[in-house]
Amino acid sequence: MPLNWCFSTLGCPELDFESAAALAATFGFSSIEVRVLENRLDLPAYLEAKYGSPSQLASIIQNAPVSVSGLNTSLRLTSESDADRDAFMKYAYWASGAGIPTLRVFDGGAECDLVDTETLDQMCQNLDWWERVRTAEGFQSELLVETHWSLWTPESVLKLVEVVPCEIRFIWDVFHTWRHGGRDVLETWELLKPYIAHIHFKDAVLDPTSPKGARHLPLGEGELPLAALFSRLKSDGFSGPVSLEWERYWNPSVAPLDTMLQQGKALRFW
């Protein structure tokens, strides 16, 4: 059974939804995750101007050749800001009203090998807040936590799972846990797979001279064992989105997304 291939619109920020969906369908992908459209990061404002209402957006999505796996927000679970929560609520309104199944949030906190108690407490407060709001508003979209800062090791992720007051699932950013945590990708998968709903991947090489300690590279040219990972995901029957996060919005000098999609096809990833 093929994997549920997906890509983030960070890779094609200039496109509108219809064009991004058509690009995904061209390569046989199942879905896209939406972070930016027509170079607009403020998606609630963009969607309001473009579609008017969540129900109209729902109609557009229903007639698209691929589905929308999630709407990606910038909320960090460590935030104590009411303004951050208010901004997130605008995304929740659109996602739930348009039938988009998930909302991405970041873990937040300091980059570390083992998350501290204070950070965990703040995450739990925000997760508890979301569960109360979700119930009160009747929102259907599920919140997914991306492993980005303080949750870059399996041990930190499992610490949050242990203390959180509600069920929680994650977007596993393979690059971040590999680069920061220094852990074998397949080992991390084995430890976290019961809690992973969605996967982000890209290719890279470790480079201590780079500001981030690594450089992103075209698929198949880096050090990440992507082929081995995809094989394991298939054998384990993972059905969640496996999403190429090609960040052309943040790094406009990199190759266009369709070039990377062609490269992935040549490598027989999809």
- The reported pLDDT for the residue numbered 211 is 75
Nearest to 191 by CA among 200, 202, 201, 181: 181
- The reported pLDDT for the residue numbered 253 is 92
- The reported pLDDT for the residue numbered 181 is 63
pTM: 0.96
**Mean pLDDT calculated for residue range 61-75:** 98
156-181: pLDDT as tens digits: 999 999 999 889 999 999 998 888 76
217-254: pLDDT as tens digits: 999 999 999 999 999 999 999 999 999 999 999 999 99
- The reported pLDDT for the residue numbered 123 is 97
Mean pLDDT of the chain: 95
Q: In 78-141, where do the E strands start and end?
A: 102-106
Count how many domains the chain has. Answer: 1
CATH code, domain carrying 261: 3.20.20.150
Q: Where are the alpha helices (DSSP H) in 164-251?
A: 174-179, 185-192, 226-235
Q: Which domain holds residue 179?
A: 4-266
Residue 212 reports pLDDT greater than 80? no
Residue 213 reports pLDDT greater than 90? no
Residue 124 reports pLDDT greater than 80? yes
Q: Which has more pLDDT, 131 or 112?
A: 131
Read off φ and ψ for residue 47, nearest 5 degrees. Answer: -65, -35
- In angstroms, the Cα distances linking 78 to 91, 122, 135, 164, 242 are 18, 5, 21, 13, 26
Count of alpha carbons within 13 Å of 38, Cβ hemisphere only?
10
Q: How confident is the model at residue 39 (pLDDT cuts 50, 70, 90)?
A: very high
